[in-house]
Structure 1
């Protein structure tokens, strides 16, 4: 009876954790690019009451072991990285990754050599593509983190072939910008329009009528994205079990394509979450009944002594 009470306590604790995860999923049903969580249970060790015995030479058959379980615990809290639906916004600086990959962002002050995401702990990864342009023309997230990628040698190029590729051989990423003005041979030209294509290439038209290529947005992927550590704000960072980051160009070599004018919605399924919530609530209630029933049995035992 004492064991059943502790089993009931373990069940209540585990289901409370599951309810916490479900509540977080439901709270983030409208969060851009949010990835829902899932809790899995496993039984704890079992106490052996009697060993197993094989058949004897006298003709008696084998006997199975007798074991009593000691409750339940949390096996894993998984992050489900299924793609969310793409929501059209028609905003120039809204982007979604269709397929595998993350945008690379950082709060570091940029150095001349750029940022190497493989050894920079302040580098973050996100699928929230709601970007902004600050007053200086820098591409940033809502929290002010810089969007990283590669830039031409002079900061701009008039030939698309002068824009470097984004791959693991070029890991000196730099913050990207769309300047409001450019100095072209001593002449100042003003920005008129810009666009970012499916490969992350940033092109802009200035009032001299020339198209200038300003850089390319980097995309990252991991062998085990579920091993990433959540940092809040829709961002993640590498962990010991995520694998080393791979940097590449959107739409190439297994990296997802960038869709301009779209945002990825949360992948939380409300119908599934409410179903799990009801099951979890009943499981919590059932475990509480185990405790109260065991208590009643103990009370009956005590009442034997009048």
Structure 2
């Protein structure tokens, strides 16, 4: 009878713990990033009244006689299934679709969370505004050419999003040409004067026109805009002349050898000859002294601007020899133009966006988009083994495994969704059903104690 009393007590305690867990699940039904928990029971050690016996020639074997001493809590498991994603429209809110946790830091302490209700503080740090913990990832760096890149193999650092910061002006370094020169037009006579050439290039009648004019804006080191004009005209079959003008610049020189204005043999030269195969593919470019016939065909334009004695330079990319990716010569309308240049003036960061890889891209007033940072994700061999630290955060434990930190979308890590938050994965119908079962189990165990008490009273009443 005493055994049944203690068995009933163990049942009461265990069902009370199960009710505590259910209550915690229900209270967090609307907590972003919360993961529901469950309690599993196992029976306690059993007292052996008689051991098992082995069968022999006369009689068969007998089973052991054991009396159980109650129940134990086997585990309180975290159910790490995906919660539903809720749209918030706030671009600093993040949700993980798939495996992984955001990494946040408090000094030297590192925590992990699925709750991505983040914001930018006054110093530009990307933080959890509820507790001030800083979101971890990798900020962008400048390479030797001045281009921004993100090294996801580096050490984690506090993410900084510098709203309204300046993006310095960048001088044009490359101008790309594409499209077509009309192979059907006649060549300009070799004895044509400059006036004749201009008339042939700009003739209002397309049937009489023997050339083409295009322009593109380029930028110097201060971000000043300068219009580069280019004139094309046909010299002879499959050979065209390119002539360059750069607004408000002096000592303009075009050079195939890549020495800029330093090559005195072509100093002041502003013309190139471009040759094509009979089937319209570019095969060479020449400045009259040097030429290129293989690989990527390009020339350098060097120039000086008032007040700056240092020559500036950028490259003209005309296409690859034998291919049709750059300038071509087919019997179609003139469409050749400079389609792209990589310079820009100074600008201010006005907004930012976050993509599925967690890359934060800044949008500047000059139209430039630059990578600013990348949010890190961590996954674990056994995420259910993490320790709960409050504030919907976890820390690693002896059984969770070490955090495997890297980019979203790689090595089993999920994708990041901006403008959404992950809801709790608590299922109320399951919780209320478990509540009913737990209540009945608690009541049944209380009956065990009451009945055992009545039996003890009967024993005590035997002597009256």
- Structure-1-length-normalised TM-score: 0.90
When the two structures are aligned, how many residues end up with a matched partner? 287
Whole-angstrom distance in 1 between the partners of 2:355 and 2:16: 45
CA 1:54/1:61 → structure 2, altered by over 3 Å: closer, same or farther?
A: same
| Distance of 1:233 and 1:158 partners within structure 2 | 41
> Taking structure 1 as reference, are residues 158 and 283 closer, same or farther at Cα in structure 2, changes over 3 Å only?
farther
Residue 192 (structure 1) shift:
1.2
Distance 2:410 2:10 in 1: 48
Corresponding residue to 1:259 among 410, 417, 432: 417
Q: 2:441 & 2:116 partners in 1: Cα distance? A: 39
Q: Distance in 2 between the 1:8 and 1:159 partners?
A: 71
Q: Verify: 1:134 aligned to 2:121, yes or no.
A: yes
User: Are 1:284 and 2:442 matched, yes or no?
Assistant: yes
CA-CA distance at 1:89 after TM superposition: 1.2
Larger radius of gyration: 2
Q: Distance in 1 between matches of 2:432 and 2:146?
A: 54
How far is 1:212 from its partner? 1.7
Partner of 1:91: 90
Q: Deviations along 1:268-300, whole A, 9 cap, x unmatched?
A: 000000000010011001000000000000111
SS in 2 for 1:9: helix
Q: CA deviation at 1:154?
A: 4.6
Partner of 2:134: 146
Are the aligned partners of 1:193 and 1:204 in contact in 2 as well (CA < 8 Å)? Answer: yes
Which residue of structure 2 lines up, in the alignment, with residue 2 of structure 1? 2
1:181-201 CA-to-partner distances (Å, cap 9, x unmatched) read 334449974321100000001
Let me know the Cα RMSD of the aligned residues: 1.8
* 1:234 has 2:233 as partner: no
CA distance in 2, matches of 1:290, 1:204: 67
Structure with greater contact order relative to length (CA < 8 Å, sep ≥ 6): 1
Tell me if 1:37 matches 2:24: no
Q: 1 CA distance for matches of 2:356 and 2:119?
A: 18
Question: C-alpha separation between the residues in 1 aligned to 2:147 and 2:410?
Answer: 21
The equivalent of 2:105 in structure 1 is 106
Higher strand share: 2
2:59 match: 60
Distance (whole Å) between structure 1 residues aligned to residue 427 and residue 99 of structure 2: 20
Question: What secondary structure sits across from 2:361 in the alignment?
Answer: strand
Residue 208 of structure 1 pairs with residue 366 of structure 2: yes
Relative to structure 2, which stretch is displaced further, 175-184 or 122-131? Answer: 175-184
Partner of 1:113: none
Q: Is the 8 A contact 2:164 2:350 kept in 1?
A: no
Q: CA deviation at 1:90?
A: 1.2
Q: Distance in 2 between matches of 1:158 and 1:283?
A: 69
Contact 2:168 2:347 in 1 (8 A): no
CA deviation string 1:111-167 (max 9, x = no partner): xxxxxxxxx5x1000011111111122110121111110112259x9856x2212x5
What secondary structure, in the 3-state scheme, does the structure 2 residue paired with 1:129 have?
A: coil
Range with greater deviation from structure 2 (204-213 or 47-56):
204-213
Asked if the contact 1:178–1:214 (Cα under 8 Å) also holds between the matched residues in 2, the reply is yes
What residue is the counterpart of 1:181 in the other structure? 164
1:304 aligns with 2:462: yes
3-state SS in 2 of match to 1:10: helix
- Unpaired segments of 5 or more residues in structure 1? 109-119
**What's the secondary structure of 2:378's corresponding residue?**
strand
Residue number in structure 2 paired with 1:112: none
